[in-house]
Amino acid sequence: MSGSGQRLNVVPTITTMGVVKARLVGATKGHQLLKKKSDALTMQFRQILKKIVQAKEEMGEIMKASAFALTEAKYTAGDNIKYIVFENVDTAIIKVRARQENVAGVKLPKFEHFSEAGETKNDLTGLARGGQQIQLCKSAFVKAVEILVELASLQTSFLTLDEAIKTTNRRVNALENVVKPRLENTIQYIKGELDELEREEFFRLKKVQAYKKKEVEKQIAKNKLLLEEESRKDAGHKVDQDGIIGEQEDEDILF
């Protein structure tokens, strides 16, 4: 798996940053939603598991009871009763229908049994002996078939849900550990590049300002020199006329 140091290869501009930020927002939202879906599915999964355990225990008991009911029927109606019933069978009376149920977004198959009405040909089996035991045996096995259908339904939904949970969890983990870090790293990188560009600009600006200032100072120094030279020339003339003891009128000092 790629580590979190990866990032997308993009041009580090503000627009791409906007785009990547939008994708990050989308990824975060998706991550949250998928996590919720995964939790809901896991809850359903646990419920179905509990039901399966119950149904299996029940089935164990019911199958035992029906096998014994068959023994009782064989005892009273004779050993050949099995073959007599088999040979009399035409089409199935109990049939199974499959349909789809939507649970937390996952389509689960569900089986239900229904009996074809009207086929009561076998009511008179064992008329002379054992008829009652045969009917009891029949109802015991009908119950067994019902619970088997339910168990089959539960087990297929169990498997389907398992698949769905695995897929969802895979997606959640992918978002969490790959997509989001990648996007975040990209954003960091873009930010970093933009900061650096700004700093460069700032530095350039500063440098230009400093140069300009230096130019200005140089100009001022030059002007000052020129002024001093001129003032010295004027001051020299004045000294020659009055003599050394000449009283100079000092200017008034104004504060």
Partner 1 sequence: MYGFEALNFNVDGGYLEAIVRGYKAGLLTTADYNNLCQCEHLDDIKMHLGASDYAPYLANEPSPLHTSAIVEKCTQKLVDDYNHMLTQATEPLSTFLEYITYGHMIDNVVLIVTGSLHERDVHELLEKCHPLGMFDSIATLAVAQNMRELYRLVLVDTPLAPYFSECITSEDLDEMNIEVMRNTLYKAYLEDFYRFCKKLGGATSTIMCDLLAFEADRRAINITINSIGTELTRDDRKKLYSNFGILYPYGHDELSVCEDFDQVRGAMEKYPAYQGIFAKLSFGESQMLDKAFYEEEVKRLTLTFEQQFHYAVFFAYMRLGEQEVRNLMWISECVAQQQKSRIHDGVVMIF
Given candidates 101, 123, 196, 242, which one binds partner 1 under the rule CB under 8 A?
123
Are 152 and 52 contacting, i.e. CB atoms less than 8 angstroms apart? Answer: no
Measured from the CB atom, the residue of 24 and 136 that comes closer to partner 1 is 136
Judged by CB under 8 A, does residue 139 bind partner 1?
Answer: no
Chain-centroid distance of CA 66 in Å reads 49
Which residues are CB-contacts of 85 (< 8 A; sequence separation ≥ 6)? 122, 125, 134
Which residues are CB-contacts of 145 (< 8 A; sequence separation ≥ 6)? 94, 113
Judged by CB under 8 A, does residue 109 bind partner 1?
Answer: no
Judged by CB under 8 A, does residue 138 bind partner 1?
Answer: no
What is the SS3 assignment for 105?
coil
Q: In this structure, are strands 94-103 and 106-115 parallel, antiparallel, or unpaired? A: antiparallel
CB of 53 to partner 1, least distance (A): 22
Judged by CB under 8 A, does residue 83 bind partner 1?
Answer: yes
Judged by CB under 8 A, does residue 72 bind partner 1?
Answer: yes
Judged by CB under 8 A, does residue 9 bind partner 1?
Answer: no
Distance, in Å, from the CA atom of 68 to the CA atom of 186, rounded to the nearest integer, reads 71
Judged by CB under 8 A, does residue 62 bind partner 1?
Answer: no
Judged by CB under 8 A, does residue 71 bind partner 1?
Answer: yes
Distance, in Å, from the CA atom of 194 to the CA atom of 38, rounded to the nearest integer, reads 39
Q: Judged by CB under 8 A, which stretch of 11-19, 101-109, 117-125, 174-182 contacts partner 1?
A: 117-125
* Cα dihedral value 146, 148, 150, 154, nearest 10: 180
Measured from the CB atom, the residue of 67 and 226 that comes closer to partner 1 is 67
Judged by CB under 8 A, does residue 133 bind partner 1?
Answer: yes
Measured from the CB atom, the residue of 52 and 85 that comes closer to partner 1 is 85
The site for partner 1 (CB under 8 A) is made up of 64, 67-68, 71-72, 74-76, 78-80, 83-84, 87-90, 120-121, 123-133, 136
